[in-house]
Chains A and B, each alone.
Chain A
Amino acid sequence: MGKITLDKVSKSFGQTIVIPEIDLVIEDGEFVVFVGPSGCGKSTLLRLIAGLEDTSKGTISIDGEDVTGAPPAKRGLSMVFQSYALYPHMSVRQNIAFPLKMANEDKEAIARKVEDAARILNLTDYLERRPGQLSGGQRQRVAIGRAIVRQPKAFLFDEPLSNLDAALRGTMRLEISELHQSLKTTMVYVTHDQVEAMTMADKIVVLQAGRVEQVGSPLELYRSPRNLFVAGFIGAPKMNLIDGAEAMKHSAATIGIRPEHIRLSPESGEWTGTVGVTEHLGADTLLHVAVDGVGQVTVRADGEYQVRSGDTVRLTPAPDKLHRFNAQGEAF
């Protein structure tokens, strides 16, 4: 079990308010991702749940038990840090065994559990090595191994993949998702990378300046962002946000249309524009088009679409995929 409830939790460092006031429920077994730009308070929020920071106000409870004042060790949570934070003077085996040793488990049980964790994470051949002798991906796996051995109520991940190269990040993303499927333990994951958020989460919490902008499943956030911030943050490439006369036509202060929801045609369409930079991703091609009276618009085209810089193209935004925002930046 691992249901985490935040009730009016706030955090300030001296005069600086990092998190104004947050109510949030993380259900047992859920994979929740906190996402937001750097400095939005997502790591602080995770550290509040972990107990590494004290809350200024409000209560945090795990499975109904108030843990607001409890030290990290008493909360039954495991954490994977961005820097892995492995113990450099211990072997991989000792690193993974450390939480069990702290829980005073007997030697045989420790040995068995460490072997199990090592097998799941493909670390069996490296058990006697020191962290310094491992690659980044292996270190990350050791950090995860150390987190899973004592079967915590929930896992906390603090940007665990940001020190890895792109290829490895993709692999590890998949491994963490698989781990979640097999363990079915609550996971709280912090990242600034919206791709990680979209691909891994059951529920995404979008944060800005310590405030929750929107909570929802990846597709909910993608399909109906509540405001301009979420609209611009979720989805890659970013949603085209257009204001001025074009938005007025739809009686909105700003309209948004995703690059993949614009139909491209050489002959006819609602907007006419000139192709600037084209980015060929293989399967897709991203066109940056200067549209008269609208501004710069990014369009996702099929990879086979033949177009050159300077060509004139016609664009038609799909009417049912159009997002409208009022002057306060809220969707309606």
Chain B
Amino acid sequence: MARAISPRRKWTITVIAWLLGLAIFFPILWTVLTSFKTEGEAIASPPSLVAFDWTLANYFEVQARSNYFKYVGNSIVIAVGSTLLGLLIAIPAAWAMAFSPTKRTKDVLMWMLSTKMLPPVGVLVPIYLIFRDTGLLDSRIGLIGVLTMINLPIIVWMLYTYFREIPGEILEAARMDGASLAKEIVYVLTPMALPGIASTMLLNIILAWNEAFWTLNLTASSAAPLTAFIAAYSSPEGLFWAKLSAASTLAIAPILIMGWFSQRQLIRGLTFGAVK
């Protein structure tokens, strides 16, 4: 493991890593900075990085024009709701695929993933019509349903990978000990796979939180989440960069904070099984 790295090389690598990190983070930083500028400064050329008149006016105006907390509420309900519903369906599905595979299990997994390759716009019209006819348009229930279906393949795949790491003998022991299938999943499988389930849940909440295509197309006002809140500021009257930035900052803040506190779980989840 120990490989001699010269101090110069180490410095170069560190600088490159920082530059790359900054480049990735820059759009978010720029959005946050812009949100504190006036509209005039926001479109000024050349732009100033920090030397501008800091103002909170955009935030007040955004809150005055639209009720931020209503959107946050919708986002939370939709993201958490679709994730929990997804887990409820995916845990037994992944259990079956991981511990009781058949000749077709791999095909089923591939087929599930293939639905992610379909451009969503291809099914927009049928789904829109179904939603219209069933009265699900602009409802949180409808969005929870759609987002659950959209993200289900990813949840099943992630859980499947985790479950595969659990020795089958332990589940057999539970069966010998008199556990029914449901008890085996509740008392043995789920607690053992808890780190995996947690990171799957976190990732899925983030995906659902940021999902814009379906949330924008299937909502108008009452079920609109934060994506619609942001979109409202790229309006026909023109772009208001500063207010758009303020709205974006408000929209990403909750998920950014959540991601920050759970980053260890997330990294473990995303790299799971890659290194043994």
Decide if B175 is an interface residue (CB 8 Å cutoff).
Answer: yes
Q: In the assembled complex, which residues on chain B have CB atoms less than 8 Å from the CB atom of A72?
A: 172, 175-176
Q: In the assembled complex, which residues on chain B have CB atoms less than 8 Å from the CB atom of A102?
A: 177-180, 183
Decide if A93 is an interface residue (CB 8 Å cutoff).
Answer: no
User: Which of B175, B187, B191, B194 is close to A73, meaning CB atoms less than 8 Å apart?
Assistant: B175
Decide if A150 is an interface residue (CB 8 Å cutoff).
Answer: yes
CB distance from A220 to the nearest CB of B (A): 32
Asked if B178 and A50 make an inter-chain contact with CB atoms under 8 angstroms apart, the answer reads no
Q: In the assembled complex, which residues on chain B have CB atoms less than 8 Å from the CB atom of A222?
A: none
Q: Total number of A-B contacts with CB less than 8 angstroms?
A: 61
Q: Which residues of chain A from 39 to 78 have any CB-CB distance to chain B below 8 Å in the complex?
A: 50-52, 71-73, 77-78
Count of chain A residues with a beta carbon within 8 Å of a chain B beta carbon: 24
Q: What are 16 inter-chain pairs, A to B, with CB distance below 8 A?
A: A72-B172, A73-B177, A73-B179, A79-B172, A83-B169, A85-B167, A85-B169, A85-B170, A85-B172, A86-B170, A98-B174, A99-B178, A102-B178, A102-B180, A102-B183, A146-B177
User: Which of B176, B188, B194 is close to A78, meaning CB atoms less than 8 Å apart?
Assistant: B176
Bound-state CA distance A106–B215 (Å) is 50
Q: In the assembled complex, which residues on chain B have CB atoms less than 8 Å from the CB atom of A79?
A: 172-173, 176
Closest to A102 in B: B178
Asked if A83 and B172 make an inter-chain contact with CB atoms under 8 angstroms apart, the answer reads no
Closest to B169 in A: A85
CB distance from A228 to the nearest CB of B (A): 35
User: Which of B167, B177, B180, B192 is close to A98, meaning CB atoms less than 8 Å apart?
Assistant: B177
Closest to A152 in B: B176
Q: Which residues of chain A from 86 to 129 have any CB-CB distance to chain B below 8 Å in the complex?
A: 86-89, 98-99, 102-103
Q: Which residues of chain A from 13 to 52 have any CB-CB distance to chain B below 8 Å in the complex?
A: 50-52
Bound-state CA distance A77–B174 (Å) is 12
Asked if A83 and B167 make an inter-chain contact with CB atoms under 8 angstroms apart, the answer reads yes
Q: Kindly list 15 other residue pairs between chains A and B, CB separation below 8 angstroms, not including A81-B169, A88-B170, A88-B192.
A: A72-B175, A72-B176, A79-B172, A86-B170, A87-B170, A87-B173, A87-B174, A89-B191, A89-B192, A89-B194, A99-B177, A99-B178, A102-B178, A103-B178, A150-B177
Bound-state CA distance A87–B183 (Å) is 14
CB distance from B168 to the nearest CB of A (A): 9
CB distance from A86 to the nearest CB of B (A): 8
Bound-state CA distance A86–B176 (Å) is 12
Bound-state CA distance A246–B179 (Å) is 60
Q: In the assembled complex, which residues on chain B have CB atoms less than 8 Å from the CB atom of A85?
A: 167, 169-170, 172-173
Asked if B172 and A73 make an inter-chain contact with CB atoms under 8 angstroms apart, the answer reads no
Closest to B180 in A: A73
Q: In the assembled complex, which residues on chain B have CB atoms less than 8 Å from the CB atom of A99?
A: 177-178
Asked if A52 and B175 make an inter-chain contact with CB atoms under 8 angstroms apart, the answer reads yes
